[in-house]
Amino acid sequence: MSHPLHEPDPPGQPEDDPQIRQMVDEVNEILRSTHEHLQKHYPPFREIYRNGYNWPEIDPLRWEICRCLFFGLFQAAMTLTNHFLENLLKTALITKTGIEKSESEPDQPRLNVIEHFKQNYGPGYAEYDRLYLGDIINRAFEAELITEEQKDQLLILKDIFRNAWSHSNRKKMFGESFIPMSALHWGDEGIQVEAKENVEIADFIIGQGLFQVQFAEYHAPKYFKYVDGIARQICVKLFGEDYKSELGSLERD
């Protein structure tokens, strides 16, 4: 006797179903379309993908951004790297505060694990979790988690990448980039070609979606690689020189 929730199998094999065949074709097309991106981006990001930070608060973001690059999801990689940067610096500051508080009070009463984390890491959450990215970058520099050069570079990236993408600010995203353009219109003598002129992309909504894709494809890999390098340096500063062995050959000096 069959289970009351069991639905009988439809007649014929699954591959005989036109809808299933269509779905298989669509999935294969998706896989084929990613082949070029895998060829281009897997080799340079292979070590970053395979060698994590051994830091579970941050590693899932690294893994997902790599996948975005491998599959050509460059706009997703841009927005996720923005989150990765802010999450990285906040988490590093909170962790540093917790480590220092724990080390400064070695004789504190024995606590259970949850109470230990609340007591030592709670002040860091209260101090840093609600700060804006610009403040977080400056505080990370003051805490010697990043260098002055990195601080200055990150403040620039905050404006042209993080703020531009998070707030969909086209002027910040495209800057003064322009394209030569001409148009057609109907005149007394039929179709007439207008004179070519340089049009700023930020001021011309037509085509901005495609330009945004191209912008992301160009910038996302470099942006993520730069932030990944900072993440690996911060790991060593937080967890000690011995931590370099956890990062393999990717730790940047």
Which residue positions in the chain have pLDDT lower than 70? 1-15, 106-111, 169, 171-185, 195, 197-205, 207-208, 244-253
Contacts of 179 (CB under 8 A, 6+ apart): 198, 199, 201
| Cα–Cα dist 118/149, whole Å | 34
The pLDDT of residue 1? 46
Average pLDDT, the chain: 82
pLDDT in tens, 144-169: 999 999 999 999 999 989 887 777 76
Quick one: tokens of 143?
């805490």
The pLDDT of residue 7? 53
Cα distances from 250 to residues 39, 111, 154, 163, 197, in angstroms, run: 21, 37, 20, 29, 47
Q: CB of 220 within 8 A of CB of 78?
A: yes
Domain-by-domain residue ranges, the chain? Answer: 36-175+207-248
pLDDT in tens, 155-213: 999 998 988 777 776 766 666 665 666 566 677 777 777 767 666 666 666 766 777 88
State the maximum Cα–Cα separation within the chain, in Å, rounded to a whole number.
92
DSSP state of 7: P
The pLDDT of residue 252? 45
Q: Helices marked H in 105-247 — which ranges?
A: 113-128, 133-142, 148-157, 164-166, 170-174, 208-239
Contacts of 79 (CB under 8 A, 6+ apart): 165, 166
